[in-house]
Structure 1
Amino acid sequence: MAAEQTEPGEALVGPTLVVGAGQAGISLVTALRELGDDQPVVLVGDEPESPYERPPLSKTYLRGEHDRASLHFRDSGWFAEHGVELLTGEAVVDIERGPTGGRAVTSAGRRVDFTRLALTTGAANRSLPVEGAQLEGLHSVRTLADADRLAPELRTAGHVVVIGGGFIGLEVAADARAEGASVTVVEAAERVLGRAVTATLSDFVREAHERRGTRILLGANVVRLTGRGGRVTGVTLADGTELRADVVVVGIGAVPRTELADQLGLAVDPAGIVVDEHARTSDGLTVAAGDCAVGPNPFGRGLPGPTRLESVPHATDQARAAAATLAGQPTAYAAVPWFWSDQADLRLQMAGLPQGADHEVVRGDVAAERFSVLSYRNGLLLAVESVGSSADYLAVKRALEKGMTIAADAAADSTVPLKRLISRPVDTRSS
């Protein structure tokens, strides 16, 4: 689904150029219009699709439960009505700017002149740096095209190996088990979801997948993929273990796409394009948002310092801050991070950031797969992780959004709804 486009080589003049047509890009454009900004916009995406939802790709879409058309955020009429020129299937390959604007050139040779610039370039999946990585049957999941390639193979595979025990890897593993495949997850770290969740939730998730028939290998490193006739047939681990594989799915993290920021001379570190609380980059003119950007912790609780989050709510909220900056109505990006993951019949819901916690409270029944983990630092509520306990999740999310807390000793009593325990306002920037 693509909007009508001008011919390659024809110059476009758009006061605002938005590079990257993912969640952050479409959110930024939408926010500009909601703020009353009516200047022309050129939105450029290197995929042939118009902007679409990514979370269903490793969940309902991969299982065939989500139709393709409903993934798209807007139809072509919306772009025309709102004065947005959408360029799909083109990457910006060259860009330069000065104090009053600049020019970009796309892979099709199209020139785009602009006065305002936003980088919402997203991230790219890390590739697997081992022998055999060129074999057919090796997949990753980030784009609609990725999911379209993987889905039919997943439905017929007898043996699936998932490399990486992050959210995407575990969601795909659950999908493969639902299709009847024998599934092994290979994780190099000592626990799954290690960078994102508490050890309590991590241990539960591993055991829950194992109860459902998935084999999970921790502290395991892949050294080689083996194949026959150009197609993968197995995975070799560092300890010599050989795993049979008809399909291999790699989910070992993502790398922010910062090439254009480098070209512009913007401040970039390994975590992404450096921005402030208003989504401004180091030149004070360009904005950046979403998976490509790293900035101040928008939550204000827990560990201080630069933060890069990969989630739909983060991309949306930071993009709104970027739009406000471009529109001359700067508003600091300050929001409670939240996230969800569907894995088989499990729904994990998280709000806040548990990193830096010094105490946790588990309420509910872990064995019954209905519980919540509340994380605290210096007695202040930081986060909740809920499994089958949406009421707990919603109560904590709302408390955090209002700058409130819940006393740890009271939270342990699962017979008392958390919404009744929300207490005094706190300074969310003080800890």
Structure 2
Amino acid sequence: MLSHSIKLNPIFMVLSLRTVAIVIQIILLLFVHFVLHYHLPWFELVIIICCEVIFTFGSYWYFRKKQHVSKQSLSWQVIADVIFLSALLSYSGGATNAFVSLLLIPIAISAVTLSAPRLFFVACLAIASYSVQLWLMPMSVMHGNMEGHFIGMWINFLFSALVVALVVGRMAINNRIKDKAIAQYREEQLKQEKVISLGVASAQVTHQLATPISTACMLVDELKELSPTSDLINDLQFELKRCTDSLSSFRQMVFDIKEQNTYLISATRICADIKDYIALNHPELMLVTVECSEGDDRNVQANSSLLPAIINIINNAIRATQANNCQKVEIKTTCDDEYLTLEIRDFGKGFTQEKLAQLGIQPIASDQGFGMAVLLSHSSFERLGGKLVLTNHNELGAIATISLPLVL
């Protein structure tokens, strides 16, 4: 019984059809010889069928463990079908054989499974095979009106091949485009469901934290009345104020996203906010920045989630850099005709290929967390028409490239 991967692989469909065709060919040869008593070149036909059987079983053996087969391998299989069928026809009547129209089957398979250039090649090969066999027909067969009949059959085959190649090929391309669009839509829906789930969880945690933080603020105020000069109480009050401000900012951000409130912000303002954040929270860090020139300092459409999304990416870069015993982060800002681009480079150990393929699409467990910050940031940039691309630097670390559309 074929496995699930084999059933989904188009090359095994081609091999299965060829196996059925071989069985039918053997049955027809026996029927023609023993029932109709036609004299056929048995030796040549048996050699061709044996080559076909060996090639088919060899292909089964070679592709049995491959889940994904290239279009080139599939096209070679279809070309082999045209060659085997042409060889069989050439020793069993050529263009006069009633089964010559079977050359349309490889064209139909190519129209469904192959690209347009490969389909064109297979169709030309099948048409050339039919044309050569018509050209090599002995003149003794062309008596009476049979010449016009065979030429009409050739024209009919040519027209049928073109119709199959163009119509079926166009339908197959449309189906592939629709399937790709549906797959992208489903992937986007799954990602949005994850983002919504994270947002709901964040809102619940924020709501649960609001009451204990308010109670803690009241207790600190009472302690400060008892000991107004205590540095420890002042530090605690400062940290609680930061928590309160963060909760207020989160509520405002949720409200702005819900109401779709946006504003314009310049590249200079973004860089200044990033510098202020790093100077306040990571004074030990060496920040290297390359900013836009004055003439390139244009605006982007932003909302309350833009700066926190950028800060999330920077925090990840800082953690990766510090985990590699380094204190350096580079941020390069450039503007072209359409996008403002921020390139944030860390000096960590970079990403594995598996993480690069999944970061920003789904949460990933790691030593630093689950990649939720990248997922949420990626979603924030997409809502603003931007994108986030993660790559490894060719020397050391990784680069997070944030592209935001400029307001023209």
TM-score, normalized by the shorter chain, greater than 0.5: no
Interval containing the TM-score (normalised by the shorter chain): under 0.3
Rg larger in structure: 2
What TM-score do the two structures reach when normalised by structure 2? 0.19
What TM-score do the two structures reach when normalised by structure 1? 0.18
Which structure: greater strand fraction? 1
Higher relative contact order (CA 8 A, sep 6+): 1
